[in-house]
Structure 1
Amino acid sequence: MQRGYRTKLGDIHAPIKIDFHIAGPSEYDISCFGVDKNELLYDDSYMIFYNQLKSPDGAICMNGTSFNVNLDKLPSDVVKLVFTISIDGDGTMGMIHQINVKLSQLHQEDLVLNLTGSNFKDQKAIIAIEIYNKNEWRMNAVANGFNGGLSQLLKAYGGVEEEDVQAIPSTLASPISVIPTPTSKVSLEKKLEKNAPQLVNLAKPLKVALEKNKVPDIVAKVALILDISGSMTKIYKNRTVQSIVNKILPLAIQFDDNEELDFWYYGSRPKRMEAVTMSNYYNAVPVNYKPLMESLGYGNYEPAVMREIIEEYRTSSIPAYIIFITDGGVGSKREIKNLMIEASKYPIFWQFVGISGFGYGILKQLDTIKDRFVDNANFFALDDFNKVTDDELYDRLLKEFPSWLTEAKNKGIIR
């Protein structure tokens, strides 16, 4: 390929691999920007680079100095993938010895772009190739220099930088030094508006609660645990439980880098379900819930699902925020107490919520459990979930999470 070469791609259902080989005196970053029709970054999760190695749908994955792309998985609004090379630190693209970019696709001849510093001057970055959709998917060997480095590339596609500069470990062959963490700051409201418009009215009350409780801008896993014991029949039947899922999902979108809500049901036995997302939340709770209720037993045994949660998140590199919904009848006091003591050493915060029930047992005594490494849990009960305003719900859900984050950080449980 030469600069400006264009071609139609072959079978778009076949995965594409793009390999970069770069030789030169500087340190080089490679990135991919998933861009919409307005030439703007579709979402911050579609900037793929050394600190964010894949898109939420797995359509773009970075491995070392290679990208694997599955066009079938991309959202329809992503109409272009821009692959870039930028310099971290001193140097210019004109000083580079050689750039080799190879595009491989099953049953197709490899496309190779070879460049040297003579193709450029004082630029700090280049756009190497683009894969774009113009009635069909095509490829363009751009090979044009770009003034500025990764920061300018980010701004060119509508992103902004965080002000905090921190050292980030590199997964590339060439070492990466210190660089601001990029993000496009796509708001929760815009994400919901685009992907789950029925939930967009939840964005504002959640934002207010985040600000009121001074919840830091963090990445965390969010999990929802739902009681499906026999006594929950009424609120499954009237779809209150589906409403609970709807209102918890925005928390996961806010905190989770994959915008997914991990999800368990529990009765006498627990069952982990498919993660809840903006594309499947509306049927997370089956209309015909009875077979699931029957298969998990009609009782409620909290320790079993709690053990699964501990096993899942005890080695997590990021905090896990667990929202545990029950209508009461909680027994197993000694087991739950011991599990809470054990879990206090791990990056797990438990927010227990009682709904339409009674007999919450030890959950009402969480603050009195001794021998915990940190205070890792909170409980509140609602007389009727459907009568609680969204503002109050999010305020209560987030009231103690920030203090746990601070204490867990001070104790070395989380970074």
Structure 2
Amino acid sequence: MSISLSKGQRIDLTKTNPGLVKGIIGLGWDLNQYDGGAGFDLDASAFLADEKGNCQNDHDFIFYNNLKHPSGGVEHTGDNRTGEGSGDDEQLVVDFSKIPENIHRVGITVTIHDAESRNQNFGQVSNAFVRFVDEVTGKELIRYDLGEDFSIETAVVVCELYRHNGDWKFNAIGSGFSGGLAALCRNYGLEV
């Protein structure tokens, strides 16, 4: 049975699930009634960061134009430009055994593509969630529903996977940013 988390909660992943090596991070969302004349494209990304929370280079930023980390530790399965349908809209596959030792956290984010020019924000998004699924068993281990407390934000740090005493944990963050992808990149120490 899946464990539902609230904003700010942390939970162990690998210690309480012995043998867990690979997982799927599924992200999903719906759109509120919207008629702005432009499509609404949400994009999932991952930032592989060191102990200080910074990415060392552009290869540590996984998104629709850089689908796989050189280590094979994190891979984006592809861009869904409409978000239509039920279930996961985008997925990232994490292989804990391949994540380099210098990586201490993996920030999972969602941004709205061209949000400013299209006058879009997360106030127009509903039913957003992230879930962590054991890739081997297909069992959903963790689910975090973000709620509806966003308005003008154009980017959200949904959750982080982080290393603690040799094990990996899950932190439900749900922190919004204005400034879209550029703001997130700066947050993780990357030049825009």
TM-score norm. by structure 1 comes to: 0.37
Find the aligned partners of 1:113 and 1:13 in 2 and give their Cα distance: 19
2:7 is aligned with what amino acid? R
Contact 1:13 1:72 in 2 (8 A): no
SS in 1 for 2:106: strand
1:4 is aligned with what amino acid? G
Matched with 1:3 is 7
Matched with 2:81 is none
Structure 2 CA distance for partners of 1:122 and 1:12, relative to 1, 3 Å: farther
Matched with 1:86 is 111
Find the aligned partners of 2:108 and 2:173 in 1 and give their Cα distance: 10
- Does residue 157 of the first structure (1) align with residue 188 of the second (2)? yes
Choose from 97, 100, 104 the match for 1:72.
Answer: 97
The Cα shift of 1:109 comes to: 4.9
Instruction: Give unpaired runs (5+ residues) of structure 1.
Output: 162-415
SS in 1 for 2:184: helix
Structure 2 CA distance for partners of 1:43 and 1:121, relative to 1, 3 Å: same
1:20 is aligned with what amino acid? L
Structure number with bigger Rg: 1
Find the aligned partners of 2:183 and 2:18 in 1 and give their Cα distance: 34
Matched with 1:21 is 28
SS in 2 for 1:110: strand
RMSD: 1.6
Aligned pairs for 1:167-246 (under 5 A) are none
Contact 2:131 2:140 in 1 (8 A): no
Contact 2:57 2:190 in 1 (8 A): no
Higher RCO (CA-CA < 8 Å; seq separation 6+): 2
Find the aligned partners of 1:21 and 1:7 in 2 and give their Cα distance: 21
**Richer in strand (by share):** 2
Find the aligned partners of 1:36 and 1:12 in 2 and give their Cα distance: 24
Matched-pair identity in %: 27
The Cα shift of 1:13 comes to: 4.5
The Cα shift of 1:4 comes to: 1.3
The Cα shift of 1:128 comes to: 0.5
The Cα shift of 1:71 comes to: 1.0
The Cα shift of 1:78 comes to: 0.3
- Does residue 56 of the first structure (1) align with residue 70 of the second (2)? yes
Contact 1:12 1:72 in 2 (8 A): no
The Cα shift of 1:111 comes to: 1.1
The Cα shift of 1:155 comes to: 1.0
Deviation readout 1:320-379 (Å, 9 max, x if unpaired): xxxxxxxxxxxxxxxxxxxxxxxxxxxxxxxxxxxxxxxxxxxxxxxxxxxxxxxxxxxx
Instruction: Give unpaired runs (5+ residues) of structure 2.
Output: 35-39, 79-89
Contact 1:59 1:69 in 2 (8 A): yes
Aligned pairs for 1:93-104 (under 5 A) are 93-104=122-133
SS in 1 for 2:65: coil
**Richer in helix (by share):** 1
TM-score norm. by structure 2 comes to: 0.77
Choose from 45, 49, 55 the match for 1:41.
Answer: 55
